[in-house]
Amino acid sequence: MGSLEICKTNKNGGVMEINKEDIEKSANIAKIYLTQDEISKYMIDLKNMTEEFLDTLEDLNISLDMNFDFNITSLKYTNLRQDIPDNFNNIETIYKNAPKIKNNLFVVPEILKENKK
């Protein structure tokens, strides 16, 4: 399966497409391994979800662009607290939650190989 064209165009007449590369790129960024079957299925699902949103914009006569003042939606209040360090007394549970622990450190796969001659 190559690409799925989303017929609803934006106000500038551009046509949006979702193709296999979009799904693979998204999966790569999101760090999720997908099978070929999953890629095919999600390509259709994402196309349908995007198309539904474009239908909504068309219905409400709203242009698809990046012109929006985010200050309007931001909260009128942000109650930041003082940055005061506190002792956390439940470190054992954190160790127990880890898949692999050695000397109180999380174990990760080796990323730098020793140059063995």
What residues line the site for another protein (CB under 8 A)?
10, 18, 22-23, 25-27, 29-34, 38, 42, 45-46, 48-50, 52-53, 55-57, 59-60, 62-68, 70, 72-73, 75, 77-81, 88, 90, 93-94, 96-100, 106-109, 111
> CB-wise, 3 or 56, nearer to another protein?
56
Half-sphere exposure of 18 (CA within 13 A, CB side): 19
Do 26 and 20 meet the contact criterion of CB atoms below 8 Å apart?
no
Exposure of 92 by Cβ count < 10 A (0-12 exposed, 13-18 middle, 19+ buried)?
A: exposed
Q: Which helix (H) or strand (E) holds 21?
A: helix 20-30
Nearest-approach distance from CB 1 to another protein, in angstroms: 16
Nearest-approach distance from CB 116 to another protein, in angstroms: 18
Nearest-approach distance from CB 117 to another protein, in angstroms: 23
